[in-house]
Structure 1
């Protein structure tokens, strides 16, 4: 026997709620530590009703707390094999220091680097 038939037979009718009341309940749900089913029982609302309001007003979704920037930080350790690899380009500067580029770069970048005004 479905719930609608049992309510119709028993004469139980859930009250219609205003938009303001629905939104208030959704806000309460967002802040509540209860499980959805327990919250609905406590407030006297149907589980399907709460889910419908969530979709209808696009609110009431419990979002997981964002991790802090420190928790999302990923430490990068350079690959030491680059030191041993064949460079993509090497350029001896006027003071005899060496500019070594290990990653492929566009020819326009090299041209700008070599012929830029000093």
Structure 2
């Protein structure tokens, strides 16, 4: 069985983002394991998961809906990274790297969704 979603740049960037979020969330305080750490990871995992699920769908409309969910998760993640920055849990450079990756993911996912119109 093939996995056509793996050829999508949006999915590939989403997977890169998952790795980054898992890496940086290891540095959050232990008491955040069920709070921000868990929320960050769930939002990140949602991105490539929804892209893959949408790519396997039966119609462009279904795919667009899943891409919209992925975009929502990216915006949720951007907000959570801003919270982490404001609280001071991560360095400015780590936050900037993560935000840049989120922005890349948003750009390619928006582009993919637009291409389905």
Q: Give the TM-score normalised by the residue count of structure 1.
A: 0.24
More helix by share: 2
Comparing both chains, which one has the higher relative contact order based on Cα–Cα distances under 8 Å and sequence gaps of 6 or more? 2
Bigger Rg, which one:
1
More strand by share: 1
